[in-house]
Structure 1
Amino acid sequence: MEKLRGLGLKLTPQRIAIMQYLDGNTDHPTADVIHKSLTKKYPTMSMATVYNTLDILTNRGCVRELTIEPQKKRFDPNTTHHHHLICLVCKKIVDVHRVENVHLPPEEQGDFEIIGHHIEFYGMCKPCKEENGGETVKQTGQPKELRKEIP
């Protein structure tokens, strides 16, 4: 909880619980998932508390906000430089720490001073591919459960 203390934040039981939940969590949870997980132990914790705490942690650089689906923000406590693999079916997010040969040609960079980047790779995870009969999104155009049945 030194992290919270270092930010100059009041150490409330709810903030401590949210930080402990996020610490080392690689699931990239939504605020709703965090809330549901913590209300068992903290039944009076409101969604507003979760959102406000995540907002503070995001603004202070302790977590990174990921907007994979516009209506569902996810939160990543790993703020070191890394990228993500995202399953289009189950929405699972996996951290990728090593991506090679990524560069922006000078003519594309223009007069921008690049200070960072984030890459998202989209596809199907192995369990979803197996559930889809071995077909990938690329082969079918979309996952089986997203295809409309034609009568």
Structure 2
Amino acid sequence: MFAMEQVTEILRGKGYKVTPQRLAVYEALARTKAHPTADAIYMDLQPEYPTMSLATVYKTLDIFSKVGLVQVLNVGEESFRYDANIDNHPHICCVRCNRVDDVHHTDTSGLVGEIEGETGYKITGRQMYFYGVCPSCQGVSSNVKN
């Protein structure tokens, strides 16, 4: 994740205005590992920014995606989710409660090489999703390993 000074620099460098609302959206996203939807970010920011519209949140997330500040996740729901961690890493989604978690310490570079060799493609990006039942929905009290 980026420090707020870096976010400001990236936005200005790409010709976008830096507004308190845009910085608040990034901060809200950076402080959570829940991979929220735009609606969830909007609801989180409403108490502090009551005049901010949902459209502003969507527009801001679109800008962040274009300039490389966030990953857009499509885990098969009606809404996209967002991740401020832009490093290549897989995600795992619970098929019962729709919780989405990061999968850390998984090296997928070998798989990328295999796919390039098999298909002839030069891979420029990747997103990998796993699906299953999270520990909470299994009734297990342990946390997902990080």
Which TM-score applies when normalising by structure 2? 0.80
**Structure 1: how far apart are the matches of 2:46 and 2:39?**
10
Distance 1:106 1:13, change over 3 A: closer
Q: 1:37 aligns with which of 41, 44, 50?
A: 44
**Structure 2: how far apart are the matches of 1:87 and 1:95?**
12
Shift of residue 85 of structure 1? 1.2
Paired-residue identity, %? 39
Deviations 1:61-107 (A, max 9, x none): 10010011341110000001111111101111111122246422566
Which TM-score applies when normalising by structure 1? 0.78
Partner of 1:62 in structure 2? 69
Q: Which one has a bigger Cα radius of gyration?
A: 1
Q: Is the 8 A contact 1:81 1:97 kept in 2?
A: no
Question: Secondary structure of the residue that 2:87 maps to in structure 1?
Answer: coil
Q: Which segments of 5 or more consecutive residues in structure 1 lack a partner in the other structure? A: 132-151
Q: By percentage of residues, which structure has more strand?
A: 1
Specify which structure has the bigger relative contact order, considering alpha-carbon pairs within 8 angstroms and separated by 6 or more residues. 2
Partner of 1:73 in structure 2? 80
**Structure 1: how far apart are the matches of 2:24 and 2:126?**
30
**Structure 1: how far apart are the matches of 2:102 and 2:18?**
29
Q: Which segments of 5 or more consecutive residues in structure 2 lack a partner in the other structure? A: 141-146
Alpha-carbon RMSD: 1.9
Count of aligned positions? 130
